[in-house]
Amino acid sequence: MVLRARLNLPRDLFPANPWAIETKTFFHGYVQESETIFALANGYLGLRASHEEDHPVVEPGTYLNGFHELRQIVYGESAYGFAKTGQTMLNCPDGKILKTFVDGEPFDIANRETPVYRRYLDLRRGLQRREVLWLTPNGKRVRIESQRLVSLMRRHLACIQLELTLEDADADIVFSSELRHRLEFVEDGDVEDPRLGAIPRSAVLQPMGRSAHDARSILSYRTTQSGLMMACGMDHLIDTPAEVAVDANQDDDVGQVTFRLRARQGEPGRITKFLAYHYNDVRPAADLRSQVGWTLDDARGTGFAALAAEQADATANFWAHADVVVEADAATQQVVRWNLFQLLQASACIDGHGIGARGLTGRTYEGHYFWDTEIFVLPFLIYTNPRLARAVLKFRHDKLDRARIRAQELGHRGALFPWRTINGDEASAYYAAGTAQYHINADIMYAMRKYVDVTGDVAFLEECGAEMLVETARLWVDLGYYNPRRGGQFCITGVTGPDEYTAIVNNNYFTNIMARENLTYAAATLRALRAENDRVYASIVRATGLQDDEIDAWEKAARLMYLPFDEDRGVHSQDDTFMDKKVWDFENTPDDNYPLMLYYHPLNIYRHQVLKQADTLLAMFLLGHEFSVDEKRRNFDYYDPLTTHDSSLSVCIQSIMANEVGYTDKALEYFQFAATMDLSDVGGNVRHGAHVASIGGAWLALIYGFGGLRDYAGNISFEPRVPDAWDGLTFHITVRNNRLRIRATPAETTYTLLDGNGLTFDHWGSPVTLSAETSTAVLANRGATV
């Protein structure tokens, strides 16, 4: 279908800048959007970008990855096996508050006269700055500059530094710094959107003790149902020639420290606020308060300048491994870098957790982890920071026992990973588009294979991966059956594929082919281990009760896997009955009725040929080596007009496939949608958080699409296709410790080995070898007009 060009954020809100998001005007209408776009996070701790003054503020989130509360899921009509307990990422006490009063007047961005206003997200240094010139009611000119960072090196730490300068008069200054557990806050009115989930409107944290001394205040809490302990604290340094009176107050829900001084014209006063958050499911609250204290001690000792330098180093290291340069215009570059920066912020300190649908920038989908992580985000991590990719996969392995239990509840052998979760339990309250998406198992195994093949980390396979392969392969064999009506082929009934505008079908093409890949890889891996590594194989048999003949069964199911094909149209049918449905009446669907799910009953949507997102085409990307370009083009031609892209996970894949089948303009158009999903607010909901998976998808569109990277079974190849509209595309990836810079123009591609011992890959079908000696190769692109 024709994409509806809804750019809900004016493009000139943020002037083009390849290394920053900057705004010089305070827009009342975009407070909540800005809270997302300027948000800071490190994969463990996330702060939405509410102002220090705590006003104007809409969604002042402070999130800790995995810190969640449980809630009973209520059903109008329940049934056996429905997920019983929901999980919700909690909003933690807000330490971003640092109010400024001049001569008793509170500063407030929204209601004060500010001839200078500048807010700046520095993508190169990993911090946010704000500069304001305030004309106070009694006519004084006050300059307020603040900087904020969430440390990429110290996951529990965030810092704010605020510097105040009186330009033309002395004045009485008060800084009031707070750490506030918000008992309740108002959500915006968008409660009809099911994606927001059941976000609790009132606090669920129970106070568990506190401590304070000097300018430090530490609070601790326990969640009511999930049994998690959390402590948070703040400490301060103040640097001013004036005499400062410090006063501290504390109760169970608020820590407050005030600084009073008489500041003189031209003598800047600077206050630094250190914030620390720790949580755990076992430690006593007192221990956690101590840990918070140590984090604050270290930070005070280090000081803001050194922390900022550390942050700049960490960020520079990120760019060295992950930067992508689109040689087009600064606006595109800005979008690309902001996107990449979100991936950094969502993953840097991910250890022990997953990556939520909005990272740590919002609570849409209750902070749950989905398949998005593995299919859309993990490739980026594999190629830019394999250690983090491993951590994400390790998290899945940590939850394997929960997946085993879930499989049992559904009557299966093996393990079934949850469609959405924080703690490893299924939290989907609508099974037709949740639990029924069995493909989650294959998605995780697919991503794991990519990780192992690209990084060569076979040890992961031995420690964690093989066990997951056994249990997932087991599930597929149990789920499907050999259907005599399909010539004895292996059929999988009653599942939902990635496209959520069709539910509970037989033989979803994506599911079947991905299950086949899962089974094949499991069989090959376990056979190899059996042949070559007795010790590991024995440990897996102990852990899983694996029988030798099970491997045969996986191979048989894979060999006989049924893959629906529509003879009339010469394309793969999305499922057994997809082609039997009426095509959605796009012509008579008003533009305002998208996304369809907010305007039409599921029954109405399900009974039509209409896609929310790429489904068969996604399979053709993920397992692209199994299809000819002609096949891909035929399928693209059929499914593209039926796809609404109502999911943010769609246009990126469509862009890659368009590239591959030669639809260059379409590829570029789809890429632009994918890349600007958030900064142009294509989905109209960036205010609730950044679409981390879509951003991962935009990276895929650049690297796999225009860059033409392919890596099946770890065989790296490139077929760069840089559009004529771009001068070039430069990107960095790391393969088995070889860090590469690749610069492709429409005509040729330059491969440079930056670190590592060397590797061999294909360029448009011909092998290229780079080494320490020959670290650069320049090669013409096929079909390019040089």
Contact 365, 68 (CB under 8 A): no
* 194 is a site residue for its own copies (CB under 8 A): yes
What is the x/- site pattern for its own copies, positions 560-579, by CB under 8 A?
Answer: --------x-------xx-x
- Nearest Cα neighbor of 215 from 176, 186, 184 is 176
Nearest approach, Cβ of residue 359 and its own copies (Å) = 21
Q: Are 515 and 524 in contact (CB under 8 A)?
A: no
Q: Is position 483 an interface residue for its own copies (rule: CB under 8 A)?
A: yes
Q: Is there binding between residue 684 and its own copies (CB under 8 A)?
A: no
Query: Comparing C-alpha atoms, which of 220, 224, 186, 188 is closest to residue 202?
Result: 186
**Site for its own copies contains 334 (CB under 8 A):** no
Letters for 484-523 (x = contact with its own copies by CB under 8 A, - = none) are: -xx----x-xxx-------xx-x-----------------
* Closest approach of its own copies to the CB of residue 76, in Å: 2
Smallest separation, CB 403 to its own copies (Å): 15
Give the binding range for its own copies (CB under 8 A) out of 132-140, 483-491, 542-550, 616-624. 483-491
Contact of 614 with 650, CB cutoff 8 Å? yes
By beta-carbon proximity to its own copies, the closer residue of 541 and 579 is 579
582 belongs to the binding site for its own copies (CB under 8 A): yes
CA-wise closest residue to 415 among 437, 425, 430, 400: 400
Q: Which residue, among 242, 35, 4, 187, has the nearest Cα to 119 in the 3D structure?
A: 35
CB of 478 to its own copies, least distance (A): 11
Residue 410 binds its own copies (CB under 8 A) = yes
Nearest to 432 by CA among 586, 582, 612: 612
- Restricted to residues 74-133, the positions that interact with its own copies (CB under 8 A) are 74-83, 86
Distance CA 221, CA 508 (A): 46
Q: Is 178 annotated in the active site?
A: no
Catalytic one among 69, 426, 462, 500? 500
Residue of 602, 662, 684, 723 that binds its own copies (CB under 8 A): 602
**Minimum distance between the CB of residue 432 and its own copies, rounded to whole angstroms?**
7
Q: What is the rounded CA–CA span in Å between residue 460 and residue 449?
A: 10
Give the type of residue at 720. Answer: P
Residues that bind its own copies (rule: CB under 8 A) add up to a total of: 55
Reference 378, options 366, 394, 363, 362; nearest CA is: 394
| Strand-pair category, 608-609 with 582-583 | parallel
- Asked whether position 197 contacts its own copies by CB under 8 A, the answer is yes
| Residue 408 within binding range of its own copies, rule CB under 8 A | no
Using the rule CB under 8 A, is 587 a contact of its own copies? no
Q: In terms of CB distance, is 151 or 428 closer to its own copies?
A: 428
Of residues 16 and 198, the one with the C-beta less far from its own copies: 198
User: How would you write 246-309 as a 3-class SS string?
Assistant: EEEEECCCEEEEEEEEEECCCCCEEEEEEEEEEEECCCCHHHHHHHHHHHHHHHHHHCHHHHHH
Smallest separation, CB 428 to its own copies (Å): 7
- Tokens in use for 208? 């568990």
Pairing assessment for the beta strands 269-280 and 481-483 based on DSSP bridges: unpaired
The secondary structure element, H or E, covering residue 43 is none
Neighbours of 485 (CB within 10 A): 7
Site string for its own copies, 431-470 (x = CB under 8 A): xx-xxx----------------------------------
Strand 216-223 versus strand 481-483 pairing type: unpaired
Of 114-122, 478-486, 553-561, 637-645: span binding its own copies (CB under 8 A): 478-486
- Answer yes or no whether residue 73 interacts with its own copies by CB under 8 A: yes
**Residue-level length of the chain:** 786
| Closest distance of CB 513 from its own copies, Å | 18
Which tokens is 643 given? 């796809």
C-beta closer to its own copies: residue 165 or 408: 408
Shortest distance, position 676 Cβ to its own copies, whole Å: 27
**Site residues (CB under 8 A) for its own copies?**
73-83, 86, 194, 197-198, 409-411, 428-432, 434-436, 481, 483, 485-486, 491, 493-495, 503-504, 506, 568, 576-577, 579-582, 597-604, 606-608
Catalytic machinery residues: 500
